[in-house]
Structure 1
């Protein structure tokens, strides 16, 4: 079951049904989608994905997915899940635009990575970052992630696959 997590400023909780409109708004934002490296989806598709959280993901403990809150307000989304994008668990984070440039992405990523290593005992955590997203790539490097490969999409966009191994993370903490 997805646990509740806390960082200095953020509260990460499993989604509740009343979060649906915030979830849809976040994932319908073209700028958010651009930096996540994904196509903007129709609203019906996003609502269907949200419904799957309650019919498939949470009941079957498929992976961890959180609503992210700052001072009680929904400000983002986070996941840690095994995917076909990488050989292992992928960290996925997105924040609403009005909280960008506040250091919350770093704080959120660090908290989910800590959970992956400390609670799930993962050997590595991976991420997929749009190559043009220099701020996220800088944050990933600062956290100890290394670029392991580039993937070029059909549209020519480049995504950088980054990896943080548990041993490297432990060295950074010493």
Structure 2
């Protein structure tokens, strides 16, 4: 199970079975799901995905996945996992649409990056973002990610790979973090 993470306004916790309806509602919202994985799925597929969080991801310790809470409300989803698509750790995040435009996405992405560097010992973290998802691309660029390459998808779309690298500092320091090429 992943540890709880706190930001100034968010709490990331492992999912509980009681979170199923919030998870399904998030993934069924096409404004969110169009940017996630293979895009919108059926409600039954999203419920099965939620079940796999417990039966596979948590049970086998595959990667870290959290419910993102603001107060008592689930407002999003977050992951950080090893992936061959970028040869390292990739962060994944989504927020309910009414949480957009408040800086919560930045706060969430920064928390995932920090976790990757501090807790997972990653020297780089990556994000893969649909080229049309300009809001996410702008957010990641603002927090130090740099575009490193494009992936041509089978459906003709383009996925951008962005990377943020931790640069070693002097002995005894925690180092600093920079986007590739910055």
- Does the pair score TM above 0.5? yes
For structure 1, list consecutive stretches of 5 or more residues without a partner in the other structure: none
SS at match of 1:35: coil
Give the structure, 1 or 2, with the largest relative contact order (CA under 8 Å, sep 6 or more).
1
Which range moves more in the overlay, 59-68 or 82-91? 82-91
Q: What TM-score results when the alignment is normalised by the length of structure 2?
A: 0.89
Q: CA deviation at 1:84?
A: 2.9
What aligned pairs does 1:105-120 form with structure 2 within 5 A after superposition? 105-120=105-120
Q: 1:110 to 1:71 in 2, by over 3 A?
A: same
For structure 2, list consecutive stretches of 5 or more residues without a partner in the other structure: 169-174
Q: CA deviation at 1:103?
A: 0.8
Counterpart check, 1:48 vs 2:54 = no
Q: What residue is the counterpart of 2:145 in the other structure?
A: 145
- Contact kept, 8 Å, 1:80 with 1:112, in 2: the verdict is yes
Of 147, 170, 173, 2:176 maps to 170
Q: What TM-score results when the alignment is normalised by the length of structure 1?
A: 0.92
Which range moves more in the overlay, 119-128 or 152-161? 152-161
Q: What residue is the counterpart of 2:15 in the other structure?
A: 15
Give the CA RMSD over aligned residues: 1.6
What aligned pairs does 1:5-154 form with structure 2 within 5 A after superposition? 5-36=5-36, 38-154=38-154
Q: CA deviation at 1:80?
A: 0.2
- Provide Cα deviations, 1:143-169, integer angstroms capped at 9, x if missing partner: 111111111223322211101111188
CA distance in 2: counterparts of 1:135 and 1:59, whole angstroms: 34
Q: CA deviation at 1:24?
A: 0.8
Q: Which has the higher helix share?
A: 1
Which range moves more in the overlay, 8-17 or 29-38? 29-38
CA distance in 2: counterparts of 1:86 and 1:111, whole angstroms: 20
Q: 1:134 to 1:37 in 2, by over 3 A?
A: farther
- Provide Cα deviations, 1:38-89, integer angstroms capped at 9, x if missing partner: 3211111111111111112112211000000111100000000012321111
CA distance in 2: counterparts of 1:84 and 1:30, whole angstroms: 27
Q: 1:171 to 1:33 in 2, by over 3 A?
A: closer
